[in-house]
Amino acid sequence: MTHTEWLLLSGERGNSATRLDERRAGGVAWSEGNEARPLVHGAAYFTDLLAAVRAMRAGDLLLFTDWRGDRDERLDGHGTEIGTVLCRAAERGVIVKGLLWRSHLDNFHFSEEQNLHFGKEIEEAGGECLLDMRVRPGGSHHQKMVVLRHPGREELDVAYVGGIDLCHNRNDDATHRGDRQSMSMASAYGPHPPWHDVQLALRGPVVGDVEAVFRERWEDPSPLTRSPLTRLRQLVHREDTDAGRLPPQEADPAPCGTHTVQLLRTYPNRLLRGYPFAPDGERSIARGYLKALRRARTLIYVEDQYLWSPRVVACFARALTAHPRLLLIAVIPSVPEQDGRITLPMNLIGRITALDELRRAGGDRVAVYGLENRAGTPVYVHAKVCVIDDVWASVGSDNINLRSWTHDSELSCAVIDESPDPRRPRDPAGLGDGARSFARNLRLDLMSEHLEALDRDAPDDAGERTRAAGDTEEWTPDGLCDPVTAFGAFEETAAALDAWYDSGCRGPRPSGRLRRYVPPELAGTERVLATPLHHLLVDPDGRPMGLRRRHTF
């Protein structure tokens, strides 16, 4: 296997202005010798982050970007509020620099006030946190990363990249009882919405790449906003609007693992004046998917918050049409996060049309599921994960929709492990690539949780336990290596739980957390009204006009 068959070459990124691919000799567009460690759920991420920040000392460097920050969100109990943790780091001499999306007005249910207070608290402690509104109209900065550098102690350097914000709702674990510090969502999720998410902890040379991504945004000389009204609010609140100088970037950490990591990004074609590091935007996340999907042969496993937009899922549909053995499993939220008379159809229409296209291409080879906890409450799937043939894996901030692939700022990691996985099937795609340990283990860990295969004999909340139809011993993590077995395990587990509900919940609850996703019906008038609103507000297109006309990224 050569990386050029799966990863983007420098010229394929579609953005010659970035310095990201110029950092290594020969313009190699990825870094080798890394360790990428999945942190599944906010509780695992927050615990890891807390320990890493507490180990920092004067002169160390902490950089972060976020979509939303709640200063009172506890990382691991009382006294570990993220605002407090970052402020204490700044007070002991750590250089703390942050970029928070400024957000739209709170009247529209965004997070302007929370981000403003978070930033002010850090500034008062000696750090610097800017509210960044350098986006397309209606767009957002959606990247979620933290970079910790330790001059003279590079073995401690780490970067976190993924889908988890430093805010309420995220601190959940595998029990999916929800974060006690919660924001309201659709009523189906209850007062403490269960939350499923994934972040990567990265060590090795890739840490320097993540830092370079932060520096490109931090050093952008453009004003933080073009809006006269927002500039007036900046004056009223005495906000910091000038990015302070960063210390020179340290040499990349030494190689420490077997993982090749390529950073993929989205930046929009920003109107009037583009980003200096991406004048026409960047769509390497979309391009990375397009290239990887051309090698898909047996199983595409997706966990995604949205999975909508026919123009985006078309590349998945093409792969399903071209390869009749190819299977697709998708795990998505059972219910959109908002349930208003206008917002619900506006969110549903994109998913309904996207799933119709996938099923036309793949028929019963396409299976879509929602999750619930042991109490029967839906779990909100916020993860952004894709694993193709146990070779290529992607974890990031990006969802599978047009907004994430073209319109907002996003950051994702494509990971290929140099270590082959010895379990059968050793080469599921039959292309000579061989299954790779990172991608396979990530898929198996996620699948095992949803099947409850890791703790198969544990009692449920009522002290009862039973096996679902087809719940055999091969549904252990090793047994799930085979794509067909894994596909069947999901199908049978969901069918058993659906049947239990259809029977009026008679008898013990079957194992597993999977429910077959059946999209609701929308009336004709709802479709007509929701479609333009979906394209305009929910899933806008941030590509230059030429790419739109050519239907490409």
Assess whether 133 and 42 both reside in one domain. Answer: yes
Q: Supply the mean pLDDT for the chain.
A: 92
Token match 């011993």: residue? 473
Does 525 fall in a domain?
A: no
Q: Which of 257, 292, 313 is the last residue of a domain?
A: 257
Q: Are residues 205 and 351 in the same domain?
A: no
Same domain as 239, residue 306 = no
Inside any domain, residue 531: no
Q: Say if 398 falls within a structural domain.
A: yes
Q: For the segment 386-444, what is each residue's pLDDT rounded down to a tens digit?
A: 999 999 999 999 999 999 999 999 999 999 999 999 999 999 999 999 999 999 999 99
How would residue 233 be classed by pLDDT, with cut points 50, 70 and 90?
confident
Average pLDDT over residues 511-535: 91
pLDDT at residue 467 is higher than 60: no
From 412, 437, 462, the end of a domain falls on 437
Contact 121, 71 (CB under 8 A): yes
pLDDT band at 521 (very low <50, low <70, confident <90, very high): confident
CA nearest neighbour of 60 among 172, 153, 168: 153
Mean pLDDT of 460-477: 48
Q: Find the mean pLDDT for residues 506-510.
A: 95
Q: In whole angstroms, what is the distance from residue 359 CA to residue 344 CA?
A: 22
Task: Please check whether residue 459 lies inside any domain of the structure.
Answer: no
Domain's final residue, options 437, 462, 490: 437
Together in a domain, 323 and 253: no
Residue 246 belongs to some domain of the structure: yes
Residue 446, in any domain of the structure: no
From CA 337, how far away is CA 346, in angstroms rounded?
A: 12
Distance CA 82, CA 167 (A): 8
- pLDDT tens, 348-358? 999 999 999 99
The answer to whether position 16 is within a domain reads no
Question: What is the tally of structural domains in the chain?
Answer: 2
Task: Look at residue 430 and tell me if it is in a domain.
Answer: yes
With beta carbons less than 8 A apart as the criterion, state whether 456 and 511 touch. Answer: yes
Mean pLDDT of 224-247: 84
**pLDDT tens by residue, 103-135:** 755 444 445 677 778 888 999 999 999 999 999
The maximal CA–CA distance of the chain, rounded, in angstroms, is: 65
Q: Can you give the CATH number for the domain in which 313 is found? A: 3.30.870.10
pLDDT of 466 over the 50 cut: no
Q: How far apart are CA 432 and CA 327, in angstroms?
A: 19
The pLDDT value recorded for residue 446 is 98
Kindly report, residue by residue over 36-73, the tens digit of the pLDDT. Answer: 999 999 999 999 999 999 999 999 999 999 999 999 99
pLDDT at residue 474, as a whole number: 52
Statement to judge: residues 287 and 247 lie in one domain: no
Residue 475 pLDDT grade (very low, low, confident, very high; cuts 50, 70, 90): confident
What is the chain's length?
Answer: 553
pLDDT score of 378 more than 90: yes
Query: Do 244 and 335 belong together in one domain?
Result: no
**Domain check: are 124 and 184 in the same one?**
yes
What range defines the domain where residue 297 resides? Answer: 283-437
Cα separation, 146 vs 126, whole angstroms: 18
**Torsion sign (Cα): 459, 460, 463, 464:** negative
Residue 473 has pLDDT above 70, yes or no: no
Residue 88 in this model has a pLDDT that exceeds 70: yes
SS3 category, 380: strand
Q: Which residue has the higher pLDDT, 383 or 110?
A: 383
Query: What sections of 107-253 are H helices per DSSP?
Result: 112-124, 206-218, 228-236
State yes or no: pLDDT of 372 exceeds 70: yes
Return the H-helix or E-strand segment holding 95. strand 95-101
> Which structure tokens are listed for 119?
């930033």
Provide the β-strand partners of residue 327: 299
Tell me the average pLDDT across 305-316.
Answer: 94
**One domain for residues 302 and 239:** no
In whole angstroms, what is the distance from residue 134 CA to residue 282 CA? 15
111 and 241 share a domain?
yes
pLDDT value of position 338: 86
**Cα gap 438→440, rounded to integer Å:** 6
Q: Are residues 355 and 420 in the same domain?
A: yes
Q: Is the pLDDT of residue 218 over 50?
A: yes
pTM of the model: 0.95
Handedness of CA 417, 286, 334, 110 (dihedral sign): positive
| pLDDT tens track for 487-506 | 999 999 999 999 999 999 99
The pLDDT score that the predictor gives to residue 104 is 52
Q: Per-residue pLDDT for 273 more than 90?
A: no
Give me the pLDDT at residue 525, please: 87
> Same structural domain for residues 192 and 290?
no
Residues 313 and 398 in one domain: yes
Kind of pairing between the strands at 128-132 and 95-101: parallel
pLDDT in tens, 236-245: 777 888 999 9
Scanning the structure block, which residue is given the tokens 């599944």? 40
Tell me the pLDDT band of 468, cut-offs 50, 70 and 90.
very low
Q: Return the pLDDT at 112.
A: 61
